[in-house]
């Protein structure tokens, strides 16, 4: 991508309305623009990151045996009256009326809608288990939308819903999502800790929140030392086998959010108990027949009886993750993208856009890198070198390459690693191989 033709409205100055680093940097790096309180447009750079996050989430859901669907954003209030949540949900629900006076709503979550789909199609215990997910915009009329996309009103969520015949089988579905979430966040370069959590308005009795540690997180958290020793990507999980040992390993260490942490009852204390703050990036629930019973989502059991399905739901804050990843990966100069979610692989800077030799060399390298399969952001603008370096640091691509008259004479290109800050002079011919 040639920067001269790209839509990348970067900002030098810190926007006044942004209170935390990720919000500031997403605005400054031209990733998002606010259109109303808690409602954002995603500009090209931001959208690339969002799509990469989405892809990792999708791949891990698919691996875990969930099937992608796409449900609408607008739902009928009648379904929510069946579950009893229409009145309970409160002011976070955006309620709408269509031209015929029918009550509608912009979905804040989809338990009712998916239960309605499944109860019409699944009739027999032989149809179970099933796990269906979608990645769709949600609306919650948050009292205090803030921190940019971290607490938006409109936000992108991956939500999965599992349907099982028995509680035991439902626990397996829960465990599969537990393990898939660990992998999902690890692939984005994040250390997420599963913490026992309150079930809130979703309801139910088994629940874990996945929390990224960060000073600016909105949740206060308490956890035992030792999570660093676990690596979710060390081995491929067997989703058809028994996942309980993996889950037990992670839940063997104490970890709870302030909503349920009780200092008096906590089994760990002293130096072993760490108190910190974190960002909730995922949340999984098992809630049995809370929706299937009132909504009549039943299947015929082996003995002919009608059995309400055992359900769970599993949410990932896809758009919130863009902010959370930046909270965990930035410095004073800007964002430092983990490779897996970086909007481009390499930033190529032509330090002398007016110089024919430099421009020729930069164009050649741009072509070679693309030929080798790299996604390159090529700064071909007629700007000062200082501005170009500052913009590259701000948008935080993993690698930066700079072509200038001095290097050209020596036949080298300067390669900088954004995370370590290390600069090396690499012979022009060895560059593509160096990145692989």
Give contact residues for Mg ion (rule: CB under 5 A): 280, 283
Choose from ligand ATP, Mg ion, none: what does 381 bind? Cβ within 5-8 Å by kind: none
Neighbouring residues of 275: CB distance < 8 A, sequence distance ≥ 6:
220, 221, 222
Dist. CA 125–CA 237, nearest whole Å: 26
- Nearer CB in complex with ligand ATP: 109/400: 109
Interacting span for ligand ATP (CB under 6 A) from 58-66, 180-188, 279-287, 369-377: 279-287
Decide: is 90 part of the binding site for ligand ATP (CB under 6 A): no
Q: Which residue is nearest to Mg ion (CB)?
A: 283
- Nearer CB in complex with ligand ATP: 145/407: 145
Dist. CA 131–CA 167, nearest whole Å: 15
Interacting span for ligand ATP (CB under 6 A) from 78-86, 163-171, 243-251, 314-322: 314-322
**Minimum distance between the CB of residue 200 and Mg ion, rounded to whole angstroms?**
6
Q: Is residue 174 within 8 Å of 207, Cβ to Cβ?
A: no
Decide: is 281 part of the binding site for ligand ATP (CB under 6 A): yes
Q: Which residue has the tokens 């012979």?
A: 427
CA distances from 308 to 29, 79, 116, 204, 270 (A): 50, 17, 13, 15, 46
Query: Under rule CB under 6 A, which residues in 200-229 are in contact with ligand ATP?
Result: 200
Decide: is 142 part of the binding site for ligand ATP (CB under 6 A): yes
Choose from ligand ATP, Mg ion, none: what does 152 bind? Cβ within 5-8 Å by kind: ligand ATP
Dist. CA 420–CA 74, nearest whole Å: 46
Dist. CA 125–CA 360, nearest whole Å: 67
Choose from Mg ion, ligand ATP, none: what does 75 bind? Cβ within 5-8 Å by kind: none
Instruction: Tally Cβ neighbours within 10 Å of residue 287.
Output: 20
Site map for ligand ATP, 95-134, x if CB under 6 A? --------------x-------------------------
Dist. CA 2–CA 60, nearest whole Å: 32
- Nearer CB in complex with Mg ion: 166/219: 219
Decide: is 194 part of the binding site for ligand ATP (CB under 6 A): no
Decide: is 158 part of the binding site for ligand ATP (CB under 6 A): no
Single residue of 80, 106, 125, 155 touching ligand ATP by CB under 6 A? 155
Q: Is residue 385 within 8 Å of 403, Cβ to Cβ?
A: no
CA distances from 417 to 122, 341, 392, 398 (A): 53, 16, 11, 6
What ranges in 76-121 are assigned the alpha helix state H? 77-83, 85-88, 111-121
Q: Summarize as ranges the residues that interact with ligand ATP (CB under 6 A).
A: 109, 140, 142, 151-152, 155, 157, 200, 280-283, 315, 317, 319-320
């Amino acid at each position: 991508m040639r920067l001269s033709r790209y839509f990348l409205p970067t900002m030098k100055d810190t926007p006044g309305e942004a209170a935390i680093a990720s919000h500031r940097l997403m605005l400054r790096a031209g990733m998002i623009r606010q259109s109303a309180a808690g409602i954002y447009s995603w500009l090209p750079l931001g959208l690339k990151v969002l799509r990469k996050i989405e892809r990792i989430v999708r791949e891990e859901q698919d691996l875990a045996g969930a099937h992608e669907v796409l449900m609408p954003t607008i739902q009928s209030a009648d379904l929510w009256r069946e579950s009893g949540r229409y009145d309970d949900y409160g002011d976070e629900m955006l309620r709408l009326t269509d031209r015929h006076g029918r009550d509608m709503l912009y979905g804040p979550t989809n338990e009712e809608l998916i239960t309605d789909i499944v109860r019409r199609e699944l009739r027999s215990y032989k149809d179970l288990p099933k796990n269906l997910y979608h990645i769709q915009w949600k609306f919650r009329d948050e009292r205090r939308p803030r921190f940019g996309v971290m607490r938006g009103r409109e936000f992108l969520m991956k939500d999965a819903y599992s349907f099982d015949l028995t509680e035991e089988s439902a626990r397996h579905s829960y465990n599969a999502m537990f393990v898939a979430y660990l992998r999902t966040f690890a692939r984005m370069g994040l250390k997420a800790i599963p913490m026992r959590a309150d079930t809130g308005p979703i309801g139910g009795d088994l629940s874990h929140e996945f929390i990224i540690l960060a000073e600016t997180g909105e949740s206060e958290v308490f956890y035992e030392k030792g999570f660093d020793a676990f690596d979710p990507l060390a081995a491929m999980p067997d989703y058809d086998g028994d996942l309980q040992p993996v889950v037990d390993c992670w839940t063997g260490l104490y970890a709870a959010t302030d909503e349920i942490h009780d200092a008096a009852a906590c089994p760990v204390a002293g130096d072993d108990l760490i108190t910190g703050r974190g960002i909730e990036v995922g949340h999984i629930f098992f809630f049995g027949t809370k929706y299937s019973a009132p909504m009549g989502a039943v299947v015929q059991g082996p003995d002919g009886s009608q059995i309400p399905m055992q359900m769970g739901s599993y949410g990932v804050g896809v758009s919130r993750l863009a902010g959370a990843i930046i909270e965990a990966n930035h410095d004073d100069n800007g964002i430092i993208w983990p490779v897996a979610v970086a909007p481009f692989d390499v930033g190529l800077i032509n330090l002398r856009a007016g110089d024919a030799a430099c421009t020729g060399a930069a164009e050649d390298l741009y072509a070679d890198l693309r030929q080798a399969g790299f996604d390159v952001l090529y700064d071909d603008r007629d700007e000062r070198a200082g501005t170009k370096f500052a913009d590259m640091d701000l948008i935080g691509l993993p690698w930066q390459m700079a072509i200038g008259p001095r290097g050209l004479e020596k036949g080298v290109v300067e390669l900088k690693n954004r995370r370590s800050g290390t600069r090396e002079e690499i012979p022009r011919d060895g560059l593509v191989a160096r990145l692989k």
